[in-house]
Amino acid sequence: MRTLGSLPLALWLQAQSGTVAEGSSTSIVTLVLRSSPISKLVLLALGLLSVISWGIILYKLWTFRRSERHTTQFLDIFRRSNKFSEVQAVCKSLDDSPLVGLFQSGYAELTAQLRQTAPPDAIGSNPHGTVVRPTLKSLAAVDRALLRASAVEVNKLEHRIPFLATTASMAPFIGLFGTVWGIITAFEGIGQTGSTNLGVVAPGIADALVATAAGLFAAIPAVYFYNGLSNRVKLFASEMDDFAMEFLNIAERNFT
């Protein structure tokens, strides 16, 4: 422990006295190239986790932005339209909104029930008007259809996000493994040479620190964006609950 504790001071003294050789560059690239095969495997695993995580983050940010824009447009059309059929006509152009899935599921159940008691030309009429409407057989069935659609849409929104939590949990431990391996390598070098010279000990310590830094580099963005994206999914779920209640209110007011 005294040897390891004196390493930072010794490195600083050598740097100040100019005795560090040019070939002993401490750049990150050099450390990676000189690292052991196990350490390179650790860094490769952390690199893959980081790349995949950033791909998921950028993709989700892009899709969530489109979903928010389409949701705003869909709600505006839904609340201004006089017929459900008019809303149905624009669903294909706004299908990135999770509310579209809810509406289509509720509208399909609503239409299926009304077809049993009314001619086809009465279906999709103005739900806000005073025209007499056929009676729904079961409003609870429409509610269940909306709940199923809500679960499906939430699963779509959460797709791939759990990988960020996995990365945030695994990356520090993988980096810790690389750190422990670097310490073991350093002590093996001391045991084989019988010397505590920095040229023997420092590479293993530096290798260990690089693995630690790589683990943190992969984990910190993953946990930050996991929390942020999960919160946005909760907001989408809240919007879906509000829309489902609004849809049910219209259905109950006009078809029961």
pLDDT of residue 119 exceeding 70, the answer is no
Residue-range domain boundaries for the chain: 28-255
Higher pLDDT, 205 or 249: 249
The half-sphere exposure of 250 on its side-chain side, counting CA atoms within 13 A, is 21
**What are the C-alpha distances in Å from 233 to residues 52, 73, 137, 230, 239?**
20, 19, 33, 5, 10
Neighbouring CB atoms inside 10 A of 123's CB total 19
**What are the C-alpha distances in Å from 127 to residues 86, 108, 110, 111, 139?**
11, 15, 12, 12, 15
Q: CA–CA separation, 38 vs 1, rounded Å? A: 24
Neighbouring CB atoms inside 10 A of 92's CB total 9
* The dihedral sign for the CA sequence 55, 61, 63, 64: positive
pLDDT in tens, 163-222: 999 999 999 999 999 888 888 877 777 777 766 666 666 666 777 788 899 999 999 999
Of 81-85, 103-107, 147-151, 226-230, where does mean pLDDT reach its minimum? 81-85
Higher pLDDT, 121 or 140: 140
Q: What is the mean pLDDT of the chain?
A: 82
Going by C-alpha positions, the residue among 246, 240, 237, 256 that lies closest to residue 78 is 246
Helix, strand, coil % over all residues of the chain, rounded to 5: 80, 0, 20
pLDDT in tens, 24-70: 444 767 766 767 788 889 999 999 999 999 999 999 999 999 999 99
Q: Token pair of 219, please?
A: 């984990």
